[in-house]
Homo-oligomer: A and B are copies of this chain.
Amino acid sequence: MKKFAVLGYGTVGSGVVELFHKNRKKIESKAGEPFALGYILDLRDFPDSPYADKFTKSMDTILADPDITVVAECMGGVEPAFSYLMQCLSRGISVATSNKELIAQKGAELLAAAKAHSCNCFFEASVGGAIPIIRPLHRCLAANEISEIYGILNGTTNYILNKMLTDGMTFADALAKAQKHGYAEREPSADVDGFDACRKICILSSLAFGKHVYPDSVYTKGIREITLEDAAAADALDGAVKLIAFVRKLDDGRILPAVMPMYVPHANMISRVDGVFNCIEVCGDAIDRAYFCGRGAGKMPTASAVMGDVIEAIKHHQTVFSQDWVDAGTQDFIAGIDELTCGMFIRFAKQESAEDVLNILCGVLDQIGCEQNAEDEESVNAVENAALITCKLNQTQRKAVLDALAQKGLQIAHWMPVMEA
Contact = CB atoms under 8 A, between A and B. Distances in A.
Contacts of A374: none
A328 to B, nearest CB: 15
A286 B303 contact: yes
A304 interface: yes
Contacts of A310: 143
A302 to B, nearest CB: 9
Given A130-B287, A293-B290, A143 B272 contact: no
A300 B141 CA distance: 12
A144 B286 CA distance: 30
A265 to B, nearest CB: 13
A226 to B, nearest CB: 24
Interface residues of A, number: 54
A19 interface: yes
A269 interface: yes
Interface stretch (A1-9, A20-28, A156-164, A190-198): A20-28
Contact of A140 (B135, B143, B210, B300): B135
Nearest to A134: B140
Interface stretch (A44-52, A59-67, A83-91, A311-319): A311-319
Contact of A307 (B22, B27, B143, B319): B143
A77 interface: no
B289 A27 contact: no
Given A285-B22, A290-B292, A301-B288, A140 B308 contact: yes
Contacts of A289: 294-295
A292 to B, nearest CB: 6
B130 A288 contact: yes
A142 interface: yes
B136 A23 contact: no
A124 B141 CA distance: 11
A279 to B, nearest CB: 8
A291 interface: yes
A132 interface: yes
Interface in A264-289: 269, 272-273, 279, 284-289
B145 A23 contact: yes
A234 interface: no
Q: Which of A141, A144, A272 has the most CB of B within 10 A?
A: A144
A139 interface: yes
Contact of A135 (B22, B139, B293, B307): B139
A140 B305 contact: yes
Nearest to A124: B140
B130 A26 contact: no
Interface string A353-390: 00000000000000000000000000000000000000
A142 B308 contact: yes
A40 B117 CA distance: 38
Contacts of A175: none
A288 B293 contact: no
A136 B141 CA distance: 12
A178 to B, nearest CB: 19
18 contacts: A19-B286, A22-B285, A23-B145, A23-B286, A130-B290, A131-B290, A135-B139, A139-B312, A142-B312, A143-B308, A272-B272, A284-B304, A287-B300, A288-B294, A290-B293, A291-B292, A291-B294, A316-B316
Q: A-B pairs with the 8 shortest C-beta distances?
A: A132-B140, A290-B294, A143-B307, A286-B304, A132-B136, A130-B287, A30-B142, A291-B293
